[in-house]
């Protein structure tokens, strides 16, 4: 039986509790019943934001362009359509996604409540009947009194508070409006994502720290391949199974976004003269000059996650684990994010957003969901909950808040909004984002402890912040 970190939604009147404490303790900043929040986008982030704001007493208007216009990937009229998969990932109490789900339940998530009602068998994962899920969540918002307007919004409205949650397939006119607001360098339209692995899963007996020619300090983890190992790697890489691009995604990519397997097809030596060039390490490799070097770069300040440099790819996830596991030092690597190349619209959150999801340049304007650079259904939904709470706080004259850094939600929001020198890449829930726990040897026990702590901290934060005057 899968251990989960929460009781089924409905076992506690969480929304009623939140509504009561906010109206009771934060009154004086405005009349909730005369306040309104506007949400653009009826995906998972949008419905969570709308549900939260409405449950806390605000009038809510949600704009959704379906069925007047569909994106290239959507087909259902209902809200909360699950496009890529019907799985919301793991439920287990020793998983990062299980921890995130537990936190969402603590905050009264409509996604979690509906998902458990429409669940279909999927082992240790939470999978749903997509059509039933969309129908029920649409009915739930209507029953709560959310005003749902089926209309395409092409320009950012002046209404505040406003939550923009239009997702990775934001329409071109509205994307242009966002870009005009944020600046041309703050919106990305194509997602080239390299795999990320946990530091603790890298065999540092085979890998080593260092930079080419010693420049910049020991900033990279380096995995050396000899000629035989390199040629085997290239052979497996070029023959591995790949994801077929969807109809609306380009098959020809610009050079800076080239899949590593496509580069390898240009010739067996291509990678060794490109992203895997071995120069600058002769003094750092014990067994003589390497034939090729795979480099990994820190993905977060704590150094718990490392990004495989130049490894954007269209290989299937199982093939990535198999082929990249041929690299010395990565045989048992734990992938917290696999490489991807697909159509995606997301903002440079590290430049323009606070960790509260509010735009740094304008109070009352929030972004939520995959548009912020979060990856995954529940990650998007969790951000919508926080955006909804903070829209309420703005109406009450209160400062927006962020969950603690040792909650999965708080860690994700801090990750996407933290200043960085490189182009931000989408991220999903993983233990590498949380502070480590010492004194527990077994990884599974350690992660179970991290997950339980995250949910407990979210519960404490909810009670403290929403039931206080701060």
**For position 257, what pLDDT does the model report?**
59
pLDDT at 187: 77
Provide the percentage of residues in the chain whose pLDDT is more than 90.
58
Whether residue 29 has pLDDT greater than 70: no
Using CA atoms of 328, 329, 335, 338 in order, give the dihedral in degrees to the nearest 10: -40
Domains annotated on the chain, with CATH: 14-191+342-466 (3.50.50.60), 196-338 (2.40.30.260)
pLDDT digits (tens, 9 = 90+) for 370-428: 999 998 899 999 999 999 999 999 998 899 999 999 999 999 999 999 988 777 778 88
Q: Nearest-CA neighbor of 335 among 379, 299, 294?
A: 299
17-21, 60-64, 95-99: least confidently modelled range: 17-21
The pLDDT score that the predictor gives to residue 11 is 40
pLDDT confidence of residue 3: 61
Q: Tell me which of 287-291, 438-442, 452-456, 464-468 is least confident.
A: 464-468
pLDDT at 294 over 80: yes
Pick the more confident residue, 146 or 20. 146
* Per-residue pLDDT reduced to its tens digit, 63-85: 999 988 877 666 788 999 987 67
Asked which of 119-123, 162-166, 288-292, 352-356 is least confident by mean pLDDT, the reply is 119-123
pLDDT at 25 over 90: no
Q: What pLDDT is recorded for position 284?
A: 56
Determine the longest span between alpha carbons in the chain, in angstroms: 73
Note the Cα 131 to chain centre separation in Å.
24
Which pLDDT tens digit goes with each residue over 202-211? 999 999 998 7
Cα–Cα distance for residue pair 391/368, rounded to 1 Å: 12
pLDDT band for position 465 (cuts 50, 70, 90): confident
- Backbone φ and ψ of 292, nearest 5°: -155, 155
Residue with the bigger pLDDT between 411 and 29: it is 411
pLDDT at 324 over 50: yes
C-alpha dihedral sign at 164, 168, 169, 175: positive
């Amino acid at each position: 039986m899968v251990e989960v970190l929460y009781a089924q939604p409905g076992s506690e009147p969480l929304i009623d509790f939140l509504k009561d404490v906010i109206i009771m303790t934060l009154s004086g900043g405005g009349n909730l019943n005369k306040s309104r929040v506007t949400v653009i986008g009826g995906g998972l982030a949008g419905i969570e934001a709308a549900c939260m704001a409405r449950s806390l007493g605000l009038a809510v208007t949600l704009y959704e362009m379906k069925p007047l216009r569909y994106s290239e990937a959507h087909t259902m009229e209902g809200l909360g359509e699950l496009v890529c998969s019907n799985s919301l990932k793991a439920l287990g109490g020793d998983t990062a996604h299980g921890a995130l789900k537990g936190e969402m339940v603590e905050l009264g998530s409509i996604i979690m409540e509906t998902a458990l009602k429409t669940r279909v068998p999927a082992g240790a994962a939470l999978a749903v009947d997509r059509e039933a899920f969309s129908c029920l969540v649409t009915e739930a918002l209507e029953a709560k009194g959310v005003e749902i307007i089926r209309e395409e919004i092409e320009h950012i409205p002046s209404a505040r508070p406003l939550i923009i949650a239009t997702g990775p397939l934001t329409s071109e006119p509205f994307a242009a409006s966002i870009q005009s607001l944020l600046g041309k360098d703050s919106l990305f339209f194509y997602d080239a994502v390299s795999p990320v692995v946990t530091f603790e899963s890298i065999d540092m007996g085979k890998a080593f720290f260092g930079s080419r020619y010693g420049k910049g300090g020991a900033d990279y983890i380096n995995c050396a391949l000899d000629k035989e190992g390199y040629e085997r790697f290239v052979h497996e890489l070029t023959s591995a199974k790949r994801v077929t691009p969807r109809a609306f995604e380009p098959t020809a990519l610009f050079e800076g976004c080239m899949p590593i397997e496509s580069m390898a097809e240009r010739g067996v030596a291509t990678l060794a003269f490109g992203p895997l060039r071995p120069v600058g390490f002769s003094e750092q490799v014990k067994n003589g000059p390497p034939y090729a070097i795979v480099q990994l770069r820190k993905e977060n300040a704590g150094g718990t996650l490392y990004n495989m440099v130049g490894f954007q790819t269209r290989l299937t996830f199982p093939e990535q684990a198999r082929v990249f596991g041929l690299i010395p030092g990565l045989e048992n690597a734990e992938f917290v994010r696999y490489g991807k190349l697909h159509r995606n619209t997301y903002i440079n959150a590290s430049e323009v957003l606070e960790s509260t999801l509010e735009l740094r340049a304008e109070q009352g304007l929030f972004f939520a969901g995959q548009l912020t650079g979060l990856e995954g259904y529940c990650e998007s939904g969790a951000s919508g909950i926080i955006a909804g709470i903070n829209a309420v706080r703005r109406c009450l004259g209160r400062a927006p808040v962020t969950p603690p850094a040792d909650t999965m939600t708080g860690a994700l929001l801090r990750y996407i909004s933290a200043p960085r020198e490189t182009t931000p890449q989408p991220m999903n829930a993983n233990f590498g984002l949380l502070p480590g726990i010492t004194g527990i040897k077994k990884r599974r026990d350690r992660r179970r402890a991290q997950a339980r702590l995250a949910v407990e901290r979210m519960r404490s934060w909810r009670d403290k912040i929403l039931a206080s005057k701060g």
